[in-house]
Amino acid sequence: MASFFGGKGKFGGGTATESERVSRHSSGWGQLLGRMRGEQPLRVLDIGPTSSTNINFVTELGHSIYLANLVEDAARSEWLVPNEDDEGTHFDVDRFLAAHLDFSGRDFDVVLFWDTADYLPVELVAPALERIHSVMAPGGELLAMFHSPASAGVTNTDFHRYHLTNTNAVDVQRAGEYPIRATYTNRQIERLFESYQGFHFFLGKDNVREIVVVR
């Protein structure tokens, strides 16, 4: 279930045990931060585990934030349906998009997609990015991260929550364990974003590639 926060509202709810946060340089976030400091108001879509830090950070800048944790939602068995030949199953992409990427007419100026693509069922990645493209405002920007091909075949990997900061770094915190479903070459990443107007790659010291794409 996605949720929307606007104005100066604060996140409220239960507390959870948090693991250590590790600071990670992010050139992509640094680029988006400059825009968020200079323009108001913006609508921000955060695709990842809920972070009260992000909610407070974005709303205190005068923007609105919408949340959707696609990795956790897509991991549920309810989206697997039998194939017509009764052999095996497939992911129900259309039903998932209708349930979790319906934004009720809102459009977005900034999308924080993080490393979501690597953890989603492969058949969901391109349709999800196309749906997000359709709800971004012209000139809107999206930040995504991709693991190196060396991560392919790793069955159990830490999944992370990314917390925004007022610098060109994000705080990374373990948020669960999900398999990396696929890794993507730079050319494959370009194809995923072929409907977008332009893109800029950044290579992190940890071999996690970042890309900022423009609607």
pLDDT of residue 202: 92
- Tokens coding 195: 């409907």
CA 115 to chain CA centroid, nearest Å: 6
pLDDT of residue 16: 33
The SS3 of residue 32 is helix
- 43, 63, 50: which is closest to 163 by C-alpha? 50
pTM (2 d.p.): 0.88
Class in CATH terms, 22-214 = alpha beta
**What average pLDDT does the segment 172-188 reach?**
93
pLDDT of residue 203: 81
pLDDT of residue 104: 84
Q: Return the percentage of the chain with pLDDT > 90, whole number.
A: 75
Residue 103 has pLDDT above 70, yes or no: yes
User: Order of strands, edge to edge, in the sheet holding 136-146?
Assistant: 3-5, 64-67, 43-46, 108-114, 136-146, 209-214, 198-203
Angstrom distance (rounded) from CA 106 to CA 140:
13
15 pLDDT band (50/70/90 cuts)? very low
23 pLDDT band (50/70/90 cuts)? very high
Listing DSSP states for 49-68 in one string gives S--HHHHHHHHHTT-EEEE-
Which residues are bridge partners to 158 per DSSP?
Answer: 177
**What average pLDDT does the segment 98-108 reach?**
92
**What average pLDDT does the segment 164-181 reach?**
94
Query: Which H or E run includes 129?
Result: helix 122-134
Is the four-CA dihedral 78, 93, 189, 209 of positive or negative sign?
A: negative
Amino acid in the structure at residue 182:
A
Listing DSSP states for 111-128 in one string gives EEEETHHHHS-HHHHHHH
